[in-house]
Amino acid sequence: MTITGNDDDEAMTQTPVGRAFAIHRSIAACHAHIARGDGVHALTAALMLPCYEAAFHRIARSLDHAQASELRTSLDALYAPA
């Protein structure tokens, strides 16, 4: 997870949905580093990826229906064409 110092980002990551979304962004960043093959960053990403994926799945399984829907909506918006 990235520390931004933004109060809105900090508030969002306090919720399970916010934590799952932040971890998903870390997963995407790992995939990008691995795809670029940028040396030590790709190696670190490859090592961290299973940890991030496990954390994401653990949180996702704990969400209730409304939270899961909120997460899906957030992820859909992230990947929606501009």
- Number of compact structural domains in the chain: 1
Is 52 within the bounds of a domain?
Answer: yes
Is 4 within the bounds of a domain?
Answer: no
Is 50 within the bounds of a domain?
Answer: yes
2-13 pLDDT per residue, tens: 434 455 555 555
Tell me the pTM.
0.78
> Domain span at residue 38?
18-72
Is 78 within the bounds of a domain?
Answer: no
30-81 pLDDT per residue, tens: 999 999 997 999 999 999 999 999 999 999 999 999 999 999 999 999 888 8
- For 37-62, letters b (16+ CB in 10 Å) and e give eeeeebeebeeebeebeebbeebbee
Is 58 within the bounds of a domain?
Answer: yes
Cα–Cα distance measured from residue 39 to residue 53, given in angstroms and rounded to the nearest whole number: 21
